[in-house]
Amino acid sequence: MRNIALRLAYDGTNYHGWQVQKTDVSVAGTVEKALTQICKEPVKVVGCGRTDAGVHALRYCANFKTGCAIPIDRVPLALNTHLPFDIAASDAVEAPEDFNAILSCEKKEYVYKIVNTRLRDPFLNDRACFYPSPLDYGRMEAAARAFEGTHDFAAVRSVGTDVKSTVRTIYWCEMEREGELFTMRVCANGFLYNMVRAIMGTVVYAGLGKLDPAAIPALLETGDRRLTGPTMPPQGLYMSRVWYPGAVGEMMQKP
């Protein structure tokens, strides 16, 4: 039995998240259907994270096991012939037998995009959060940096998935600016449910002057979700990078 790791990208606008749903269309369900067609056998995929409805992925890793003998270099081409326009496979490698896209992941990076202008851009409608209120970019930079380090992030999570611990390590949380497009880039060893969107909401509150960036460490210590910013809309969020050891890691870090 082969264990194949895939590098995928997708626009999540038309999907009810990554995870297979009973009634709604999901990214995983769509990929499984396509793989089942090319492998001529039922296929189940394991993804590197449960992106929510409307969330996108610039780089996403999934693995599946199969007895199909299709050459590894043909897998992306064959898969793409059965996928819709908004999901694409760009690479595939033979993974170790015990490789698991979510359990083997060492760290992940997400980006969140905000268009800070009074005039809506129709071409970014489903790919960035439109935010017309003026934001102080300098305060947002300071607020983002305040999340770096090892903390209990219960104050920026939504109740949903049960976890043993809400402590995570953020390696970097930084802002980038290109005109009116503000991008937050955050990398951690793991993320809680809605954690990135809540961090972004807190950074936005800092940009609005509703909270002091210097107060963020103390807010995290309280563990109180009511004291931090709102959960931002999903369309601005992208999974951007994932890290693994070995050949899978090399595949995922290619340009």
3-state DSSP call for residue 238? strand
Beta-carbon-side half-sphere exposure of residue 75 (alpha carbons within 13 Å)? 27
CA–CA separation, 67 and 40 (whole Å): 10
Count how many residues are written for the chain. 255
Amino acid at 147: F
The b-or-e profile of 214-233 (16+ CB within 10 A means b, else e) is eebeebbeeeebeebbebbb
3-state DSSP call for residue 72? helix
162 is catalytic: no
User: Do 14 and 25 touch, CB atoms closer than 8 A?
Assistant: yes
Which segments within 43-180 are labelled E, that is strand?
A: 45-47, 56-66, 87-94, 107-115, 129-130, 149-152, 167-178
CA angle 249, 250, 251 (to 5 degrees): 90
Q: One of 11, 24, 52, 126 is an active-site residue; which one?
A: 52
CA–CA separation, 89 and 8 (whole Å): 4
| Residues that are catalytic | 52
